Amino acid sequence: MTALAEKLMPKNWSSQLRFFIIIAVSVIFFDQVSKYQAVAHLTRAFEIPTGTAELGFVEKVDIFLTLRHPVRAEAVSVVDNFWHFRYVENPGAAWGFLSGAASWFRTPFFLIVSLAAMAFIIVYYRRTTPEQRYLRLALALVLGGAIGNFLDRVRLSYVIDFIDWHWYDKATWPTFNVADSAITVGVTIMVLDMLLAGKAAPKEKTTAKAKGST
């Protein structure tokens, strides 16, 4: 997929811009593929009556893209009492924010916020310098994750989550997906990059003063 993406990009694009786009597109790809697998294995969306012809790949993709609220199947245990794959529909944001709001308000609100966030990321990227490689990587991860969840909201009005982490029945982390993971990693890299840049600035000033006094 990386080789294909590189071939489709204009040759006059910088290597870092190519890298930015490849990372963002890869996140979107793996996010949507993992959600397809979640629908395939954690719901009954692809089940057919006995004696009926098996669904083809194109038919399954069509169901994945258009079917809302498929019947859930049993969760799949990866590590008992710690990690399960469980199909969940999240109409809100992280931690269920606005999940109880009316759909006429909630869906347009999240679509507008997502578009604004994606526009901000692109503008922010254009203001970064080639030396800010980690920041650009972080922005690519966040952009890919934002687009991945945005696609869910456009076609379904909710986001598909399926990764369920918990500590027995005592503590449960909100169910999430690949897009959420990319956003979380991206934001973490951004924070670390800002902290390290903040620590480096005083050292550079001290070095410059020392040189100026000699």
Q: Where are the domains of the chain?
A: 14-202
Q: What are phi and psi of 93, to 5 degrees?
A: -105, -160
Q: Pairing mode, if any, of strands 171-172 and 83-90?
A: unpaired
Residues 164, 78: Cα–Cα separation, whole Å: 10
**Helix (H) or strand (E) segment spanning residue 51:** none
Residues 35, 29: Cα–Cα separation, whole Å: 10
Strand partners, 76: 85
Top mean pLDDT of 4-8, 9-13, 102-106, 114-118 is at 114-118
Q: How far is CA 45 from CA 90, 91, 158, 210, in A?
A: 18, 19, 16, 69
Going by C-alpha positions, the residue among 97, 182, 108, 90 that lies closest to residue 143 is 182
Strand partners, 84: 77, 164
Residues 180, 174: Cα–Cα separation, whole Å: 11
Average pLDDT over residues 131-154: 95
Contact call for residues 98 and 109 (beta carbons, < 8 A): yes
Residues 89, 66: Cα–Cα separation, whole Å: 14
pLDDT bucket at 10, cuts 50 / 70 / 90: low
Q: What is the pLDDT of residue 162?
A: 96
Q: What is the pLDDT of residue 31?
A: 97
Q: What is the pLDDT of residue 37?
A: 97
pLDDT tens string 159-212: 999 999 998 888 888 899 999 999 999 999 999 998 887 666 555 555 545 555
Going by C-alpha positions, the residue among 77, 70, 66, 65 that lies closest to residue 47 is 70
Q: What is the pLDDT of residue 203?
A: 56
Q: How far apart are the first and last CA of the chain?
A: 55
Out of 14-23, 64-73, 184-193, pick the least confident. 14-23
Residue 2 has pLDDT above 80, yes or no: no
Instruction: Show the CA angle centred on residue 57, arms to residues 8 and 111, nearest 5°.
Output: 60
Task: Using the structure block, give the residue that is written with the tokens 């049993």.
Answer: 74
Q: Which residues are catalytic?
A: 161, 180
